Each structure stands twice: as structure tokens, then as C-alpha cells.
Amino acid sequence: MKVLIIGAHGKVGHLLIGELQSRNIDFVAGLRSQEQIKAYNDNNIETQFIDLTASLDSIKDSIEASGADVIVFSAGAGGAGYDRTLEIDLDGAIKTMMVAEAIGIKRYIMVSSIFSDNRSKWDASGIKPYMIAKHYADDHLRGTNLDYTIIHPGALTDEDGTGKVKLLGSNESGSIPRVDVARALAEIIQNPTTIGKEYTFASGDQATEDVFR
Ligand code: NAP
């Protein structure tokens, strides 16, 4: 198994690298600048240039060259504006799904968001265009032939992890340290029983390894 982390320079992506290293899982970091590539290579991390705004062909070449058989999508436009949200969180994500299907990478794990499937929460969220982008990216993924898992974590924090989570109902909210999201991703990567499943969660009192299966 070889995992391609799209968004490996992000906060969750960075923490996922640590999780995969500690579990001896092979991976390649998908990065969007030569400076990032140099810095990661200097730390003996295998890298692949991936810019989600690039053409489909170019993204295909990059993903193919990574040699990965698992994709984790943890990229996002962040605060770069809603036009970028459309381009990265929605179209960028879908381009990677199209490539995965075209070149036969079956396993695809999406970092989505809490409430991406609950329209009644979008107006009050203050980030409605982001919710819409996540919603339709998830929806596209469900319609592919990929072996997908979608996670919907609550608000992300940079606090220390607890390794404990709880599953949330569709109207419940919560927050979770990014490191616990990275841990959840590592569990999901290792557990094929998570294929076809979605998890909405926040910090709680159940061990991560008992939940993501
Ligand atoms: P982050 O630190 O902002 O990381 C996002 C990554 O996406 C960055 O590494 C960024 O690259 C990369 N990216 C941006 N544009 C790109 C492009 N054109 N091509 C390739 N990569 C690009 O986000 P995070 O905190 O780790 O969050 C990870 C995921 O969780 C995101 O998908 C986010 O939507 C989701 N999420 C967030 C929350 C929350 O409360 N914030 C809640 C639920 C889910 P650079 O480092 O070069 O900028």
C-alpha cells in the first residue's frame, strides 16, 4: 500500500505524515510548490508536485507518477476566497476522483466537513459556499466506482489529541484536534471495512480504533 496525501503541506496533512511514519505505512506527499518539495525531500519524505488548479492531464500525470494506490484528499482553499473554494474544494477534488477512476486507483478517502450534508445548517455557518463545495464533492464521490470513505469532522483545533472521539448525529456539533483527525485517517487507511462508509465525529470518549471500522 502507498498513500498519496493531497494537501500534505496542510495542518491535517502534516499530522497525517507523522501518523503514517509511526505506523510504517508508505506514502507520498502531494505538494504544490518547489519550496515545499525541497523542504520535505530534505526530511527524506517522498513528494509529488500536485496543483489542483492544473489541467486534468497534468494532475493525472502527477497522480500516476506517485505510484500510490490510496488517495487521501485533505486539501482546501482555506481563507483564499470562495472562487478558490470552488476551484479547489469542489473542482480540484472532483478532478482527482476522475483521475483515480481513469487510472485505476480504487481507494479514496475524503476529508469533508461536518454539516456538508445538512442544508439547514448552511446559512448560519457563515461559510455557506464552502459547505456547498464540500457537499457536491462528496456527492460526486458517492457516485463514482471508487472504494471511498468520507469523514465529516467537527471544527478543527490545534489542541493536543486525546485519541478519543464520538460519532455525531446529523444536527449535533462539536470540535476535534487535527491530530485526532489524522489518527482517524490512519485507522481508515488500514481498515478496508471502512469502505463505503461516512463518519461524522468530534472529540469524545471512544477509542479511535474502535470507531473507524
Ligand atoms: P489547511 O492547513 O488549510 O491545508 C489545506 C492544504 O490544501 C494546504 O496544504 C494547501 O497548500 C493545500 N492547497 C491549497 N490549494 C491547493 C492547490 N491548488 N493544489 C494543491 N493543494 C492545495 O487545512 P487543514 O486545517 O489541514 O484542513 C484539512 C481539511 O479539513 C480541508 O479539506 C478542510 O476543508 C477540512 N475541514 C476543515 C475544518 C475546519 O474547522 N477548519 C472542519 C472540517 C473539515 P499550501 O500549504 O501550499 O497553502
The domain spans of the chain are 2-211
- Chain Cα centroid distance, residue 138: 11
The residue whose CA is least distant from atom 33 of ligand 1 is 76
Q: Considering only CA atoms, which residue is closest to atom 36 of ligand 1?
A: 113
The CA distance from 30 to 23, in Å, is: 19
Kindly give the number of the ligand 1 atom that is closest to the alpha carbon of 12: 26
- Tell me, using a 6 A CB cutoff, whether residue 109 lines ligand 1: no
Number of helices followed by number of strands (H, E) in the chain = 9, 11
Using the mean position of ligand 1's atoms as its centre, give its distance from the Cα of residue 7 in Å.
6
Class of domain 2-211: alpha beta
| Nearest in space to 71 (alpha carbons), one of 4, 23, 145 | 4
Residue 175: all three cell numbers together: 470540535
CB 74 within 8 A of CB 89: no
d(CA 146, CA 97): 8
Task: Give me the catalytic one of 108, 130, 148, 199.
Answer: 130
- Side-chain half-sphere exposure of 193, counting CA atoms within 13 A: 7
pLDDT band at 170 (very low <50, low <70, confident <90, very high): very high
Contact 7, 13 (CB under 8 A): yes
15 C-alpha to ligand 1 centroid (Å): 12
How many angstroms separate the CA atoms of 95 and 23, rounded? Answer: 29
| Residue closest to 48 by CA, chosen among 27, 30, 72 | 30
Kindly report, residue by residue over 117-150, the tens digit of the pLDDT. Answer: 999 999 999 999 999 999 999 999 999 999 999 9
11 lines ligand 1 (CB under 6 A): yes
pTM over 0.75: yes
Distance 75 CA to ligand 1 centre (A): 4
Does 47 sit in the ligand 1 pocket, CB within 6 Å? Answer: no
Any residues with CB less than 8 A from the CB of 27 and at least 6 apart, and which? 2, 3, 4, 5, 17, 20, 46, 68
Read off the pLDDT of each residue in 33-48 and give the average, rounded to a whole number. 98
- Is 130 assigned a catalytic role? yes
* Average pLDDT over all residues of the chain: 98
Q: Would you place residue 50 in the very low, low, confident or very high pLDDT band (cuts 50, 70, 90)?
A: very high
**Average pLDDT over every residue of 108-117:** 98
Atom of ligand 1 nearest to the CA of 14: 26
